[in-house]
Amino acid sequence: MFFSGLVRQARHTASSSCLLGRWVRKETMNYSNWRSRLQNSAYVTNAILAVTILVFLLETFSGGSTNNSVLVFYGARLNPLILYGQWWRLMTPVFVHIGLMHILVNGFSLYYLGQMTEQLFGHWRFFLLYFISGFAGNVASFAFSPNTLAAGASTAIFGLLGACLMLGDSFKENPVIRQLARQFLLLVGLNLLFNLFSSGIDIFGHIGGLLGGFLAAGMLGAPALGRMGTPRRIASAVTLLFGLGALLFLGFNAG
């Protein structure tokens, strides 16, 4: 009886160990799948989009997204306030939008373009790329459009297009990236042409964002696609910093 009990206990222990092993393997696989999904998901894009939509809703319920006072309150670019010391207005306009059509166009553009570029650059590089582009666009607008109230994510979105153009130039041997860059080059050309003949559009912000994104992509690189040459990365960083410095100098002295 004693030995029989030991055998039954051993079998129970072995069975429990087997079940525990299967549970551990299952949980490990679930964790690995979760990490894989997280790494492959564009959660930075989704987070930026969520904040942008939230700000638009706050604008709407605070007096309307076309009300200048509301736009200024939530961070639109207005040069006299920047000159007064509110330097954050060189960044916050990427979250502020003027009217429903503005948020719809930029929201869909951010969602689709952001999903792709975040996969190409990786999460933290995409984060830096987006906000460097937005900053560059707003600095260009600050320098060359001093008398306008400006807002919108289009400065950063043009930067994402510029980043894809840099990839096309850096990885010409990749046929997919090369073709993608050609399509985006056409899209950029059509958009800028449209800007020239449209009122109320900050073309300097778009051009600044485009160039900022192009140079930021060259500086940050895209390891998922391959190595960028060190001279290109250094040249991109120096040109970006020099350009931003020159635009800030121009903007503050013009004011």
What is the set of active-site residues?
A: 154, 206
| Residue 123 exposed, middle or buried by CB count within 10 Å (0-12, 13-18, 19+) | middle
Q: Can you read off the two tokens belonging to residue 236?
A: 């991109």
**Rounded to 5°, angle at Cα 206 from 217 and 115:** 50
Place of tokens 């319920």: 61
- List the one residue out of 152, 170, 252, 154 whose CA is nearest residue 216: 170
CA 241 to chain centre: 19
**Burial zone of 249 (CB within 10 Å; 0-12 exposed, 13-18 middle, 19+ buried):** exposed
Two tokens at 37?
Answer: 């999904």
